[in-house]
Structures are given as C-alpha cells and as structure tokens.
A = this chain, B = another copy of it.
Amino acid sequence: MKLYHCLLVAFLLPASAARPQNVQNLVPYVKPIIGTAKMGHTYPGATVPFGAVQLSPDTDTIPYEMNGKYNPDVYKYCAGYQYGDKTIVGFSHTHFSGTGHSDLGDFLVMPTTGKLQLNPGTASAPQTGYRSVFSHSTEVAEANYYKVRLEDHNITAEMTTTARVGYHQYTFPKSDESHIILDMMSGIYNYDDKNVYTYVRVVNDSLITGYRQTNGWARNRTVYFAMAFSKRFNSYGQRTYDKQQVYRGFWRKWNQTENFPEMAGKQLRLYFNFKTNEGEKLGVKVALSPVSQENAVANMRAETQGWNFEKVKSDGQQLWNKELNKIVVKASPGDLVNFYTAMYHAFITPTIYMDTDGSYKGLDQGAHKAEGFTNYTVFSLWDTFRALHPLFNVIQPSRNSDMIQSMLAHYEQNSMKMLPIWSHYGNENWCMSGYHSVSVIADAIMKGTYKGDAAKALEACVTTARKRDFEGLGYYIDKGYIPIDKNSNAVSTTLEYAYDDWCIARLAKKLGADAICEEFSKRAQNWKNVYDPASNFMRPRLSDGSFRKEFDVLTTNGQGFIEGNAWNFSLYVPQDPAALVATRGGKKKFSTHLDSLFTMHLPDEFFAETEDITRDGIIGNYVHGNEPAHHAAYLYNWTDEPWKTQSRVRMILKKMYAPKEDGLGGNDDCGQMSAWYIFSSLGFYPVAPGSAEYSLGSPAVTSATLNLENGKQFTVEAKDQGEANVYVKKILLNGQPFNKRSISHEDITRGGTLTFFMTNKPVK
C-alpha cells in the first residue's frame, strides 16, 4: 500500500523524460517494480524496448542445487530480484522477464569501498562480502532507469541502457579504497558446472573484454562483453576459484592474481581499484555481443559516445515513450499504471539477438547475419502465442514479422528442422509442450502482417508438425491422441497439438495447399479423442484406447496435463469453442460449468506441487497465474450468457493486476500476463490466434487510441465507464450498431472507433 501511494504521487511530478512533439510522456506510468514481489518474476532494472541488455539488481544468487537436489528457493530468483530482500549482491546485465525457470545474470558488477572483499557474503551477514544493504526508500525504478543507495558502501548506483549497452553510474564517497567488482562466477540459476568457461582480457587501463560461456537452461550459451570505465583504474586483479591444474608453466613466470591482463577459467572474480573524491561519479559501460569481443566493442561504440549518462537515460525513455504511445488510454490512475506497466512488460521480450551489424550466433553454433530483419531470441512460445504475439500483430506488426523471420532462421539452423519451442540465445531449451510457433506464424499470415515468404513458413510449420519422434507426436499422428502410458503430459499435449494443427490447416487453406489443409484439419479434431463423455472432461487414455481408470479432475500431478488440472485444460479447444460447448451438453450446461470453474472452492492442497501456480493466481479453480485457461473467461461468448465474460474479465483484471510490487498473480511469462491485461482492458481478446477474430469482453479503460503502424487510429471508447459498470449495453462500430460477439482484425486495422456503452446490469 505504501508503494501504491508512492505511485500515485508520481503522477504529480513533472515529466522528466524528453520527448518529441505529439508523443505523450507515458514513462511515469511505468512501474517496473510491479511483479517483483512473490510470483511475478519481473525485474526492476533498466532496459529499452526489446533491448538485448537488461541491467538490473540481483538481490540473491543462490545455488540451483543443494546437495545434488533441486533447491526450491531458487524459483523466487528467476529474475534475480525479490522485493522482500534486504540486500543487493550486484547488477548484472541479462534477465528474463517473468519466466518460471531461469538462466542468465551475466557479468555481475558491484561497486564497493573499504577493504576489498571478493565473496558476495550472505543475506543475513552482508558485511561478510561485497553485497550491500539497501532500502526501498532510496530506490527509483523507471523504464530504462534504476537508482538505489548501497548503504554498506556509501555509494549511489544508477543504471540505464541502450539496446546492447548497460550503463552504470556510481557516485562514490571520498575513498582511497574504491573498487568495482566484476563477478564472472555469479549468475541466475547457477549449477556447480554451469560456468563452462569465462575469459577476460584487459585491453588497456579503462577497457576490458571477454566472455562467459554457460551450460544451463541453454546448454551452449556464450555472451561476449566489453566493459569500459570512465576513469582509468589504478590496479586490478583476480581470484580464481577453479581447481588448480597440476601443470601451469605460467604460474611460475607471473603473478597472475594482480595486474595480469589475461584471465581464464570457470570461476573468476575480478576487481578494479580506484581512488575517488567525495561525490565523484564513476561510469561503467558494459556492451554485450552474441558473437565476439570485437563486436561487443563495436556495439558500445555504435550505441554510446562518451560518458553522458543523462542522455543515454533520456534517449532510452524516448524509445519507451514511442512504444507506449502506440496505445494512448484514459483510465483510473491505478489502471493507467497497470496498463502502461503491462505495455512495458509486453515490450521487453523477445529480446534483440544480434550485433549492430546484424551478426548473431545461430542454433548451429555458427555465426550468421540477419539480412533484412532484426533477429530476436527468448521465445517462450507456450506462453506468448496466446496473447503477446497477437498483440504484436496489432500494434507491433513489423517487429512480429521480424520475430517470425527469427523463428524461421532458427528452423533453418536447427539440425532437427523444427521451429522454436523455446528459443534461447542460439539454443533450443525445449521447454513446455506443443509447437506453438505455428500459431504465431498462422496468426501473422492470416492477418497479413508477415512480410516474408508464406509458403516457406508453411513448409516449416508442416515439417515441424510431422516430427514423429517429438514428444508423443508419432502416437498422436497414428492414434489421434497421445497415450498416457507413453507420455506424462499426454492429454494437454494432444489438445495443444490439435489447436496448432488447426492453425496449420488455416494457413494451408489460405495458401491453397489443399492436401495439407485436409491432413491438418483432420488432426485439429483430435481433441475429441481425449474427451471422455462419462466424466465430461478431457481424460488420460491408454494405448489400448480405454480411458485410464485413475482420474482426479482437480489434481495437477500425474493426470496427463502439464502445469494444470483437467478443469482448466478441458476448456482448451480454442479453435472450436462451439463444438466444445456442444460436446459438453450445450450452452446452458457449459455456462454453468464455467461458473463452477470461477466459483468453486478449491482446497489449498491443490496446485501445491505445481511451482508455477500459487494461490495468488487462482480464482476458485480458475488459474490465471498460469496460461492454459487464459481464454476461459471469454468462452461465455459461445453460450447465451456473454455478460458473464464481461463480468469475469473485469473481475480478473481487478483481482490479478494491481499497481504494487506484488501486483501480478503469477509469472508475467515474458509478457503474456501483461498482454492479457492489455487486450482485456481494451475490451477484446484473441481466443484463437490464427483466426482473425477477437472475442469481445468488457473494456476497463475509459478510452484507448491505438496508433497503428499503417498510420490509422483505432479508438475504443467506454461510455459510462465505472467500477460497477462492467456490463456492455450496446456497441457501435464507427457509429453503427455492432451486434457481434467478436471483432475482426480488419475492423481494427482499417481504423475507426468502437464504442461500448457500459452499465451495471447484465444485458440478457
């Protein structure tokens, strides 16, 4: 609540970010601190839209394993920062936003004063290491700006970025013992063997370069860096925590711990010594590259000149304003913060994955150049195909087209010849299920936003969807479902494949590939094969065709569903809700069933074993904190009670999003939770990406103008908007009555105005 107050106060402050004319300063509404407590897994640090650098404080870097077993506490630190922590270990340059597993945290930098300490120390005894106590009262977290006071060292730390450069500015006290620590060992989700190798080269007394190579969630990841100091260091050194090898000729020749300019090993920590005057500002720029040290230096030179922190900050905030202005809304103060923070979180991921000259390291571990597109990485597709990429199709179509180009490059470089499942810095981490790239591709082609070769894209989709060795796919192709005795996520994966296959069929139809359309239209019906009429749920089926006897519709574990139970997943037929409704006994029964989902009392033990779902993200038995049922509230539109969609959506918006540090009911999942917020706040949602229709809900804004790339504007107005007025009385499109329950993509991109008339009573 303290934070909430503080956020409201912020609106009264003068706008600090410089901006061009006609662009509103929306940066003050962005509160990166939202989601940093509990389960949001966002980070408060600095980044530009889709930036390759995410420079953010890490409040702990605990090991992924303890005594050879998974350490469940690590889950809190997917983004490196937990709001409840009292200390900051340092500032590292790469962070996932909102994931439920993690990696990254490269190149942790920490300024210190006094006696040199090279170990991080512990949260309970920060004075035993280089970490520092901090207080939220000194903390400022804006889009592309982060500031905090490091109390143990009497240093003020400020952070800003360009796309590929993290810019630190440290204001030191007077000290003969001022240090910058560079911890090459530190990382997020650190295993014993995660650091494969690190290398640092001191080029001169204010520039170093090197790399960090890790075998983590991405098993072949190397990040190169260049690090420049605004002032020459007086001396430097390292400690290595590697096992010392028997023979090392050079250790006899040199003292390599001090002022020796080449350092290599798995476990290194470096320090750089300075003398500082009271209030002296020391700048540190760290540029990243996926390809080489040389390119990291080139990226730094291309994106920054000299040591003007304020300019870099202001330039980055202008970039944010440009992106945020793609939707200009009027809403309550809290909703404005929710909305623009959701926009901010939606525009962080995927991240740019190439140097300024287009070079990047591909999935084949070779160097490539992106020709004619910006290459992106971090595709958490099981999450983001649902609403984030559809959102991009509306307000970031060019970027979305480039993202698809990136997916196709991944496909080309993939020795498996598969589109990305979870694209991860030139790696495929194969996380989660389905092959939802095809949804993103079909959606973009159906909506006319993909600029590449559609036939090639279809070929990639089909090749991917025919990989018989991929998770249960051979069974699915042969039997029409995945047997539970063959795969533990048999039911949910069958449902997801069926939806993805519908996307392929749609795409094939559009491109005139009739045989493919027929093949995949048939496969799109496979959801029916796991529907059990006896229980009225999707249910695990054995190889012999029978439904497995043991079945618990509430439990998540061992029931054939990935991160969800039968209640949530049994609604997952986005490609044909009408058929699902019919199968389940018709509109009335289905509506009642949906009511139960939202209202039933679910005892605490359910979902307890599923890390990605906590009580904060659950309403009744509806899980909003995880993705599979994100479309569920919109399914009332296929019954005779669409007003229930309207009230449920508004209820979810209110319960699951709040302008405070613990304001997200679950992992933001690379922007998917935020994209849900944005769509639903605007009054429509893409239930089935791959169709060109958005299901209508209930807008939460008073008005919103979408400034489209084609130059047109599409405005949503909500007349008589209010907290109680969650129901839609009538709708006009461009002044004409609009009686449909969905709006087409073309209706939006053509420009115009969609006017909702709100009321406090369901309109039956």
Contacts and interface: CB of A to CB of B under 8 A. Distances in A.
B203 A65 contact: no
Given A262-B416, A264-B220, A416-B261, A471 B364 contact: no
A199 B220 contact: yes
Contacts of A432: 249
A429 B250 CA distance: 7
A243 interface: yes
Given A364-B293, A416-B261, A255 B197 contact: no
Interface in A324-369: 364-367
A255 B252 CA distance: 47
Interface string A187-229: 0000101001101011100000001010101011000000000
A249 B292 CA distance: 28
B70 A246 contact: yes
Given A415-B201, A415-B202, A416-B262, A430 B249 contact: yes
Contact of A197 (B196, B248, B249, B265): B196
A261 B428 CA distance: 13
A101 interface: yes
Interface string A565-599: 00000000000000000000000000000000000
A217 B416 contact: no
A64 B220 contact: no
Contact of A254 (B266, B364, B431, B469): B469
A69 interface: yes
Contacts of A293: 364-366
A171 B251 CA distance: 48
B367 A262 contact: no
Contacts of A242: 193
A252 B562 CA distance: 12
A70 B247 contact: yes
Contacts of A191: 245-246
A241 interface: no
Nearest to A432: B249
Nearest to A251: B430
A193 B242 CA distance: 10
A764 interface: no
A262 B415 contact: yes
Contacts of A261: 415-416
Contacts of A211: 365
Nearest to A292: B366
Contacts of A202: 415
Interface of A: 64-65, 69-70, 101, 191, 193, 196-197, 199, 201-203, 211, 213, 215, 217, 219-220, 242-243, 245-250, 252-255, 259, 261-262, 264-266, 292-294, 364-367, 415-416, 422, 428-432, 469-471, 488
Given A219-B265, A254-B469, 17 more contacts: A64-B246, A70-B247, A193-B245, A197-B220, A201-B415, A211-B365, A215-B245, A249-B429, A249-B430, A250-B428, A250-B430, A252-B471, A253-B470, A253-B471, A254-B430, A262-B416, A294-B366
Task: List 10 tightest A-B contacts by C-beta distance, closest first.
Answer: A250-B430, A261-B415, A253-B471, A249-B431, A249-B430, A253-B430, A70-B246, A201-B415, A196-B197, A294-B366
